[in-house]
Amino acid sequence: MKILLLDKNHPLITEQLSAKGFLLEEDFTSTYDEVLKKIETYDGIIIRSRIPIDKNFIEHAKNLKFIARVGAGMENIDVEFAHKSGIKLISSPEGNRDSVAEHVVGMLLILMNRLFIASTEVKNGIWKREENRGDELLGKTFGIIGYGNMGKAVAKRLSGFGVSVIFHDIIPNLSDEFATQTTMETLYRDADILSLHLPLSAETNYLIDEEFISKMKKDFYFINTARGKNVKTQDLVKAIKSGKIKGAALDVLEYEKASFENIESGNEDLQYLLHSEKAILTPHIAGWTVQSKEKLAQVIVDKILSDFSKS
């Protein structure tokens, strides 16, 4: 099989697949239109987010048997049309779930204990104790929306913190030793902290908006390591200003470009978040560790070999 790699990833992908007899070609610079001219000669492609795999792309890829994304989300792919075209879709959420979980807990602890603010002040000769009094996780209810690989990993990490973890998911009967499945009504009522672990779809686009926030009974902390467009930033900022959202830890932003490589600056709400002490922002790196880079690649290789290797 002939495979085209459209993004840079861990070299083990090329090494291991080549060793199994696959023919791999790397192309990290060609544009969408340039790739279209040659895509029909490939049996598989391995991507991250650089090039959208839309209906037009798939129609040109007449021999394509699989699309493998090194990551979790598949919103950059026309999933429905790919399925109709008989193309196998492969992703690797197992590879960075641990990284995401640690990032969630890390951001939350920094936010609730004002660690970044206090550290910056001390380094600038400012010594404030009462003003930097923290807020403990112990005894709080941690709410998760989406209990897949990421949500489960977060719940597992929280097991030693003395929190009650609840979650909502459209798939039933997912409760385990780390978290209890609930209705959205229960989550609205009980959650002190809310963390998103959802794909981006028509149903989840702007899920967190003014109406959703108004249903939360408590003032709460908010974490998003899923997708920026799961949240309507204008409404998030309004809730931070009012105190309804006590603080936000955001690894993803509505204003990210489709490739996740940068953000569109100049927006008033984004500027507020950039300068607010109640917001912690990171550049879409929750799943971005030294270890996850290798694990993501290994999961992709293992799945390709499982489905397409003859040896």
Three-state secondary structure along the chain? Answer: CEEEECCCCCCHHHHHHHHCCCEEEECCCCCHHHHHCCHHHCCEEEECCCCCECHHHHHHCCCCCEEEECCCCCCCECHHHHHHCCCEEECCHHHCHHHHHHHHHHHHHHHHCCHHHHHHHHHCCCCCCHHHCCCCCCCCEEEEECCCHHHHHHHHHHHHCCCEEEEECCCCCCCCCCCEECCHHHHHHHCCEEEECCCCCCCCCCCECHHHHHHCCCCEEEEECCCHHHECHHHHHHHHHHCCEEEEEECCCCCECCCCCCECCCCHHHHHHHHCCCEEECCCCCCCCHHHHHHHHHHHHHHHHHHHCCC
Clarify whether 227 is annotated catalytic: yes
Model pLDDT, residue 258: 73
In Å, what is the CA distance from 166 to each residue of 10, 244, 280?
Answer: 35, 20, 24
Strands 2-5 and 23-26: parallel
**What would the pLDDT profile of 44-103 be if each residue is shown by its tens digit?**
999 998 999 999 999 999 999 999 999 988 988 999 999 999 999 999 999 999 999 999
256 catalytic, yes or no?
Answer: yes
Catalytic residue among 10, 48, 103, 256: 256
List of residues 6+ apart from 191 with CB closer than 8 A:
141, 142, 143, 166, 216, 218, 220
Domains and CATH numbers, the chain: 2-91 (3.40.50.720), 96-281 (3.40.50.720)
Tens place of pLDDT for every residue, the chain, 311 residues?
999 999 999 999 999 999 999 999 999 999 999 999 999 999 999 999 899 999 999 999 999 999 999 998 898 899 999 999 999 999 999 999 999 999 999 999 999 999 999 999 999 999 999 999 999 999 999 999 999 999 999 999 999 999 999 999 999 999 999 999 999 999 999 999 999 999 999 999 999 999 999 999 999 999 999 999 999 999 999 999 999 999 999 999 999 877 677 787 778 999 999 999 999 999 999 999 999 999 999 999 999 999 997 64
Two structure tokens written together for 288: 């971005």
pTM for the whole structure: 0.92
Q: Which two tokens stand for residue 10?
A: 């861990």
| Distance from C-alpha of 132 to C-alpha of 277, rounded to nearest angstrom | 11
pLDDT at 264: 76
Q: Which one from 50, 69, 227, 254 is the annotated catalytic residue?
A: 227
Catalytic residue among 10, 103, 114, 284: 284
Q: Which pLDDT score, from 0 to 100, does residue 259 have?
A: 67
Write down the pLDDT at residue 49. Answer: 87
